[in-house]
Structure formats: structure tokens, C-alpha cells
Structure 1
Amino acid sequence: MTQATEKLDLEGLTFATLKLNKTGHVFTITLNRPKAKNAINPVMSAELLYALDYAKQERAIRVVILAAEGDVFCAGGDLRSMSGTASTEPASNVPKRGETDDISLRLRHLNKPVIAKIQGPVLAGALLLVCNSTHAYAAEHAHFSAPEIKRGIWPFMVMAGLFRVMNKRQGLDFIMRGERMTALAAAQHGLINQVVPTDQLDDHVAKVANDLASLAPQTMQLGLAAYHEQEDMDFDPALPMLKKKLEQCLKSADAKEGITAFLEKRTPNWD
């Protein structure tokens, strides 16, 4: 993870598997291995970790969008790279900052809104990206599957995020049978927020991202950090912790500006 004294930079780096774009306060990370169905290989893993650490570090970045090129959002882990087959991609000079399983942790501890823009199928380990984002919107033709059981594998790492967004019975059936789930069913079971007509997906995600980016950024980070901290706590000890967070929030510059703007009947100006 990013250290307090560390300063990450994109200058001079060649990303072989991702496209990065910053527009205003929104940072878009686009998976860019369409010929390989955007499967996550070691290069993509390293680049994702670096991009997420950079997004966490940069104060001007308030929202992250995870998108993908091609017809498939992501096919999960790259079985070719797992078998030892060499990558044919252009060289990447992005420093390695962890392993593939660290991607889930980076997403959960980013403490900024992360929107998964799902334009196509999501398979296997790609569910890590969806389950650990704060928001997920899918095109109507997209579908989701955890087919590992059909290959004699169990989606162990997926479970940590999956059962925090889906109920246990639906989640277990999903991974035990390995069958496809439609986008509509995924929305009904809590895996995604909403199904969006394919031709409206870009505009819908852009609007949500801009709405989130217009809100108090430091309060958003404080609130998301508290959300993750209390998630696995017992109710009684969670309350005093959350009370302290509220007191901290009320003393913050964001709260002072928000209250002042409300009283003055103007739009808040977040630093």
C-alpha cells in the first residue's frame, strides 16, 4: 500500500494492460486486454494495484470508474499465465506493489467511490472487482458466473466480497452450481445496483460518478472508512466508535463548509 512519505507518479510509466484517464475529479481505469477477454494476468494485476494506489493518494481524484474494452468486462484470472505461458503484451514498466489477491483489499480500503461499469460478461475472479466496488451498473445483456466448480476449483477469494453483497442462499447456489446469472437477477440479489440499457450505460455511469464527485470528498472518505471498520463489529462496540467518527466529521472542514453553504443558501465549495 501507499506509504505516507511515498509519492506515486504516472509520468514515464507504460501501462500495457490498462488505459487511464482523469477527467475533472473522476479517474477511469479501463481494462485493455480485449483479445484475452480482459483476463487478469500478472502484468494487469501489478498495473491495477499501482493505479488504485495512485487514485488513493491523489486528493483531486474523488471517484474511480472500473471499465473495460471489448465485449467482455473480465474473464477472471488468466489461465494461460497460470499455466506458465509467456505474455505477448507490450512491455510494462509499472512497479509491482503486491499480488492479485491484494486488489480486493485495495478496492475496499480506497475509501473513495468505485463504480464498476459492466458492459459485458463477468466471470470467475472478475467478481472480485464487482463485489468490492461501492457501485456496480451493468448493461442489460451482461451476465455473471462463477464457473470454477465446473473446473474442479472453488472461488475461495471471491467469497469474501460476494457474501457481503449477496445473501447466503443465493450466493451459495451461485458458486455451487456455477450457472450463469443474468444482469436482472444480479440486481435482484444485490450483486449490482442496477441494470441499464446498453446504449445508456456510459451516460448513466458518468452521471453517478459526477454526482458522487460533487459531494464532500473528505467526509466521503471518513464515512467509507468507518463503514468498513464497523461492518464486522458487534453492534454495542460499533456505536461508540461511530460516535467518535461523527464528532470528528462535525469538526472537519467539509462539515463546516457544508453547514455554512446551507445557511447561506449556496452550493458548497469543497477543497
Structure 2
Amino acid sequence: MGSSEQVGGSFEQTDETHYGAVRTRRRGHVLEITIDRPERRNAMNADVSTGIGQALDAAEATGDVRAVVLTGAGDRAFCAGGDMQADASGTPFTMNEADPRNHVATLFRRMEACRLPIIARVNGHALAGGFGLVCACDLVVAREDALLGVSEVKIGLFPMMILPFLLRTVPVRTMMEMCLTGEPITAAEAARDRIVNYAVPADQLDAKLDWLLGRIVDKSPTGIRLGKQALGRVREMTTSNAIEYAQFMLANLARTADAKEGFAAFLAKRPPEWTGN
């Protein structure tokens, strides 16, 4: 399959930026975030969590990025979960008594708050916290032979940190079997349950990713941005409160420049020219 360096040939590419163990690259309206620890199967530590968060901050700050891709370096693993090596630093399995904010929890909160679409490019196995990252993304394109799973029970743990995203993404019976047995499933199997959007052969991964990105970046940035914001809040509301909130959000959306342009383009039967306002 193509390496992460070959992702998205149809998008104009720019130089890389590094945030610790994470590197990013702009490709037109897309920011690609790569976990760059292939020697550790892109395992998570504090450096990785902080780097992804900083990259998301940068993506939202530009005002010109319309989608984010999250992937791993190489072709062995998207992310193997928390770093469990004896010499690992910044492991997610401990907590600093002086600062109890777990870096993985901070990252998941940041991903949840991101108003840009986040697409997981699953180039290899995504296990434990790595599978949590996949579930925290909005859309997923995966190698069909990639393994997805939560193996924590095999070492006396449980996938605590990612439970909110598992519950949201994985059908309950499938989730319980994965959590209780620790056995993974393939991305091809996950696609049948819609846990991932698309599972394709390795040599088709990047083409499928670009096809999906092309269907996103030509839509209203404002509609997507405010829509994701609203979705995050509606998830926490009662149905009654959500309906009341939705009517105000819809009225606000209708007043944006993008919505006015969308209506005008529809009536004129021409492609819209989005400004992101």
C-alpha cells in the first residue's frame, strides 16, 4: 500500500510541521495529522496526545482547513494503544497526583470539541486506545485487513477511557464481546456493522480517502462547523431541550453568508462559492 507520505496525491501538498511525536501536512483544504512513532507501532504517550491536540488547534486557527485526516506512520499500525514498553514515558495508565488531568482524556475532549470533520485513515491495526481514536473520529476509511479491538481485559484492565466512544459507535452486543474477550475484529467485519465507513484493500486506501474528502471539502465550511458544534451539544441534552436548541441553531445558520450563498446557488442552478462565513 502507499505510505502516509503518498496520501492524497490529488491535493496540493505543503511542507510538514512537527508537534513532538506528531507531524502534519497541509493538502489543499485538508490537514493530515500523522502519529510518527512507527518503531513503537505509533503507540500513545503524552507527547502523542499533546501533539494531536496542538495540530487540531492549528487546523481550526487557520480558517482555511475544511477537514482533518488522522493516521499513523508506516503500514503496520494506525495506533497500537497506550505505550506499554518498560522504558515508556507519558503512559496513559498512570496519573500525576499534582495534576490529575490524564493526557488521553484531554485529547478525547479536544477531539470532541473540534468543529472540523476528523477522518481516520486506518493504515494498520488500531487497538485499545488506538481503536478509541478511531471511534472518536467522525468518519473512518480503513484497510480491510486492519485489526480493530480492545485487548485491555487480557492484562487485567478494561477500556475505561474510550467507553463513551465505544458506546456511541459500536453495536452493544459487538462491543460487549470485544470488551469481554479482548479479541479483535477486522476492518472488513467492522464495516458490516458500520463501525467504520469504508474498508478497502490496502492499495485502494488513499484513493478511497481522497474520494471521501472530495465529497466533504466542497460543502459549506460554516454549515459543517456549526453543525458539528450543535451535534456535540445535542448529544448531552434531553429531547425537549435539543429541539428547542435546534430551532435557534437552524435560524442562526440560515443567516450565515454560506447559507445565503447556498440558497442563491440552488435557485440559479450553479455551484456555490463558499466563503466559510
Q: Assess if the C-alpha contact under 8 Å between 1:25 and 1:213 holds in 2.
A: yes
Report SS of the residue matched to 2:103: coil
Mapping of residues 86-235 of structure 1, within 5 Å: 99-235=103-239
Could you tell me which amino acid in structure 2 is paired with residue 186 of structure 1? A
Deviation at 1:263, TM superposition (A): 1.5
1:76 alignment partner, one of 57, 74, 81:
81
Q: TM-score, normalization: structure 1?
A: 0.87
2:23 alignment partner, one of 19, 22, 38:
19
Q: Assess if the C-alpha contact under 8 Å between 2:19 and 2:54 holds in 1.
A: no
What is the CA deviation profile of residues 14-70 of structure 1, one whole-angstrom value per residue up to 9, with x for unaligned ones?
534222110111000011111110001221122111111111222101100011112
Find the counterpart in structure 1 of residue 243 from structure 2: 239
Could you tell me which amino acid in structure 1 is paired with residue 236 of structure 2? D
Superposed CA RMSD in Å reads 2.0
What is the CA deviation profile of residues 207-250 of structure 1, one whole-angstrom value per residue up to 9, with x for unaligned ones?
21122111100110111111111123222221111111111111
Report SS of the residue matched to 1:161: helix
Mapping of residues 259-270 of structure 1, within 5 Å: 259-270=263-274
Unaligned runs of 5+ in 1: 1-10, 88-96
CA distance in 2, matches of 1:21, 1:48: 13
Equivalent pairs counted in the alignment come to 250
Q: TM-score, normalization: structure 2?
A: 0.85
Report SS of the residue matched to 1:164: helix
CA distance in 1, matches of 2:195, 2:48: 24
Q: Assess if the C-alpha contact under 8 Å between 1:140 and 1:195 holds in 2.
A: yes
Q: Assess if the C-alpha contact under 8 Å between 1:73 and 1:118 holds in 2.
A: yes
CA distance in 1, matches of 2:18, 2:216: 29
CA distance in 2, matches of 1:255, 1:164: 30
2:58 alignment partner, one of 54, 60, 65:
54
What is the CA deviation profile of residues 67-111 of structure 1, one whole-angstrom value per residue up to 9, with x for unaligned ones?
11121111011113xx55459xxxxxxxxx982221111111112
**Corresponding position: 1:249 with 2:253:** yes
Question: Identity of counterpart residues, as a percentage?
Answer: 33
CA distance in 2, matches of 1:232, 1:203: 36
Q: Assess if the C-alpha contact under 8 Å between 1:75 and 1:121 holds in 2.
A: yes
Report SS of the residue matched to 1:156: coil
Deviation at 1:146, TM superposition (A): 0.6
Report SS of the residue matched to 2:183: coil
